[in-house]
Structure 1
Amino acid sequence: MSKLKTMSMEWTGEEFILIDQRYLPLEEKYVTCKTYEEVAKSIKDMVVRGAPAIGASAAFGYVLGVKEFIGKPEFEEKMKEVKKTLANTRPTAVNLFWALERMEKRLNEIKNEENIVELIEKEALDIAFEDIEANKTMGRFGGELLNDGDTVLTHCNTGSLATVDYGTALGVIRGARDMGKDIKVYADETRPYLQGARLTVWELYKDGFDVTLISDNMAGWVMKQGKINAVIVGADRIAANGDTANKIGTYSVAVLAKEHGIPFYVAAPLSTIDLDTPTGNEIPIEERSHDEVRYCHKSKMVPEEIKVYNPAFDVTPNELITAIITEKGVVRPPYNENLKKLFEK
């Protein structure tokens, strides 16, 4: 059987292993999943995060479900349960649903074959390897938008940890460096889960980039000082009109970029574009545990009786987005027309 091993995940043929992103950068721990339920728990509990990585993880969770129930009389019913369990983990990231629909479609195509497990495993591996290639292609397209000597501001984590490998927004930054351009990075810490501080800075530092960490509320002032040439972020779902759901705080950064005349780019694969969702108003926004705000690294900051609101994502309107970078090219407004064209290529 084929295998996969990257910074974020490993498929051995029998087990699905994830680096536990909750402990980075101070500790490198791993979670071994032997059942689809363990994969679902890992997605829900943020062991793995980032829309493309969630999609690929769900695909391998689906394979584990097939391996568990193949040959049993209730196989088809059980696989519906597997899909539902995995789909209910994170409501905003459309890659999750895209991957599960693709896996279910493939299972229906091969249900009368003798080597179902082998073929469904190949589909999950195809999803994973296609993601890596898409990110590298995206990096080449996006890298053209940056100039030698530019400094980029990014938000949340969009690199090898948020994808199968290479990254979306960080993939663009890597793509520019691969072209010989000197690119510096400012990374927002990304409250309340601190993906920027814990993951992006760690990843870029390990990769040899000149990276500077700032708190989220410093972004406007850093722009005002003329330190930022471009903003590049990832996405969890892009509506048909270009409205983009991404980690909470992205909308604020986009407003600030507009005010300061700085281009604001979204980097995401086609699997993140949801043409069935007309606008950002229809994107479901996950609200996560209030303890993510009450606590910071296990230290309690406010009493339990204090009310908390913790949306995990916000939606950036299309008019604030300069361009969307995909593996099929760079898309500019009008997004309603031009995003559709991507799927016709």
Structure 2
Amino acid sequence: MKAITWNQGKVRFVDQSKLPLKLEYIETENPEEIVDAIRKLRIRGAPSIGVAGALTIALIAYHSKAENIKNLAKEITDWIDKVKKVRPTAKNLFYALNRLENIVNRYLSNNVNKLKSEIINEALNIMIEECEYSKKVSEIASQLIEDNDAVLTHCNTGPLATVDYGTALGAIMEAWRQGKRFKVIITETRPLLQGSRITAFELKTEGIPFTLITDNMVGFAMQKRMINKVIVGADRILRAGHVINKIGTYTLAVLAHEHGIPFYVVAPTTTIDISSNIEDIIIEERESNEVTSIMGYQIAPPDVNVWNPAFDITPPRLVSMIITEKGIIRPPFKRNIKNIVSYSKIPVL
């Protein structure tokens, strides 16, 4: 099940906000609709957001009426700036848009058709690469899962979050396909329930048994030795090993550390940010109604004060390993992250 596809000037995507009650595909040639889908989490998951952003710019290029290269370049760069502002935390979106910005600068001296073609090709390459990376990272991370494990995962990191295949959940699925048999525990992931809505949907589709728990049950489950590994994804990883991921990830890392449970982070290198410092990171804060209601049903009194950060930051001392498509990164992360990003191919560290 691919989360998003391109077909001759149209983008087709799964509306993840409708899951698990309805599997609905939306096809559009309107870039505003893609931007709105990213903003409203109809398209979500760092790699999928990056690809959706790239395909938004591909739509602009494909349907542009610009008659000269200067006007086309301005139209594209204006849209790149616009899409960058939609969701500020996930690195993959900026990675994709920066690549397209480079294409604009590289082909400014060419004609309109050449720039259009190069933008569309680069966007499609970004999509193909993200699919390849998620497949590879899932295969590598699956090696860490063994028979009789009890693996906890958080939020959603399956095919819908990564265009195809997955990261942390992809590793679980790949290990199951290999014939390993183990327990899977998933958190519901408040406030928007990506675990109970989307991860549960994907695991059911794959025929993988699992146990769903609320986020605040994790500590007790660890205390009762119901969990022996935690595997999560990431929306951005900093050069020193700080992991920015779905709110609640830091809590899981603290609990895992307290109980001596390994805490693995699975993400492609397109999620790694080697240039930003921790103080540079913008943690997206979302609307209060995501906390005060569930799928349209009000669960809190009106006019209550709400704080709704979408992500938190896990310090590197709580992370056991970071698994990428290029291999496994072990501490010290500051040195090894730089090494693994620097080379096109690197053996497992």
- The answer as to 2:309 corresponding to 1:320 is no
Match of 2:48 among 34, 53, 60: 53
Question: How far did residue 344 of structure 1 move?
Answer: 2.2
Match of 1:282 among 277, 280, 283: 280
- How far apart, CA to CA, are the structure 2 residues paired with 1:184 and 1:108? 50
- How far apart, CA to CA, are the structure 1 residues paired with 2:303 and 2:140? 49
- 5+ residue gaps, structure 1, are 1-5
SS for the counterpart of 2:139 is helix
- The answer as to 2:173 corresponding to 1:169 is no
- How far apart, CA to CA, are the structure 2 residues paired with 1:72 and 1:164? 33
- The answer as to 2:145 corresponding to 1:146 is yes
Match of 1:245 in 2: 244
Question: How far did residue 195 of structure 1 move?
Answer: 0.1
Match of 1:101 among 98, 101, 114: 98
Match of 1:44 in 2: 39
- How far apart, CA to CA, are the structure 1 residues paired with 2:119 and 2:65? 11
Match of 2:347 in 1: none
- The answer as to 2:100 corresponding to 1:110 is no
- How far apart, CA to CA, are the structure 2 residues paired with 1:98 and 1:242? 18
Conserved? CA contact 1:184–1:209, under 8 Å: no
Match of 1:301 among 296, 299, 302: 299
Which is worse superposed, 138-147 or 315-324? 138-147
SS for the counterpart of 1:304 is coil
Match of 1:119 in 2: 118
Match of 1:330 in 2: 328
Question: How far did residue 70 of structure 1 move?
Answer: 5.2
User: How big is the alpha-carbon RMSD for the aligned residues of Structure 1 and Structure 2?
Assistant: 1.4
Note the 1:58-97 alignment, pairs <5 A: 58-69=53-64, 71-73=66-68, 74-97=71-94
SS for the counterpart of 2:312 is strand
Match of 1:342 in 2: 340
- How far apart, CA to CA, are the structure 2 residues paired with 1:224 and 1:159? 27
Question: How far did residue 128 of structure 1 move?
Answer: 1.2
Whichever residue aligns with residue 250 of structure 1, its letter is T
Note the 1:5-44 alignment, pairs <5 A: 6-44=1-39
- How far apart, CA to CA, are the structure 2 residues paired with 1:79 and 1:32? 21
Whichever residue aligns with residue 184 of structure 1, its letter is K
- How far apart, CA to CA, are the structure 1 residues paired with 2:181 and 2:104? 46
Deviation digits for residues 179-213 of structure 1, max 9, x if unmatched? 33113210000000000000001101110111111
Question: How far did residue 136 of structure 1 move?
Answer: 1.5
- How far apart, CA to CA, are the structure 1 residues paired with 2:58 and 2:129? 17
Whichever residue aligns with residue 39 of structure 1, its letter is I
Whichever residue aligns with residue 221 of structure 1, its letter is F
Conserved? CA contact 1:51–1:93, under 8 Å: yes
- How far apart, CA to CA, are the structure 2 residues paired with 1:308 and 1:88? 23
Note the 1:100-249 alignment, pairs <5 A: 100-111=97-108, 112=110, 114-249=113-248
- How far apart, CA to CA, are the structure 2 residues paired with 1:278 and 1:305? 36
- How far apart, CA to CA, are the structure 1 residues paired with 2:303 and 2:117? 52
Deviation digits for residues 27-64 of structure 1, max 9, x if unmatched? 12223231222211111111100000000001100101
Whichever residue aligns with residue 223 of structure 1, its letter is M
Deviation digits for residues 313-342 of structure 1, max 9, x if unmatched? 000111000000000100011111000001
Aligned length: 339
Whichever residue aligns with residue 173 of structure 2, its letter is R
- How far apart, CA to CA, are the structure 2 residues paired with 1:254 and 1:93? 20
Whichever residue aligns with residue 142 of structure 1, its letter is A
- How far apart, CA to CA, are the structure 2 residues paired with 1:328 and 1:86? 28
- How far apart, CA to CA, are the structure 2 residues paired with 1:77 and 1:132? 30
Which is worse superposed, 46-55 or 100-109? 100-109
TM-score (norm 2): 0.94
SS for the counterpart of 2:313 is strand
Question: How far did residue 271 of structure 1 move?
Answer: 0.6
- How far apart, CA to CA, are the structure 2 residues paired with 1:91 and 1:127? 19
Deviation digits for residues 287-322 of structure 1, max 9, x if unmatched? 001000110121111222210110000001110000
- 5+ residue gaps, structure 2, are 344-349
SS for the counterpart of 1:197 is helix
Conserved? CA contact 2:19–2:197, under 8 Å: yes
- How far apart, CA to CA, are the structure 2 residues paired with 1:212 and 1:72? 57
Whichever residue aligns with residue 93 of structure 2, its letter is L
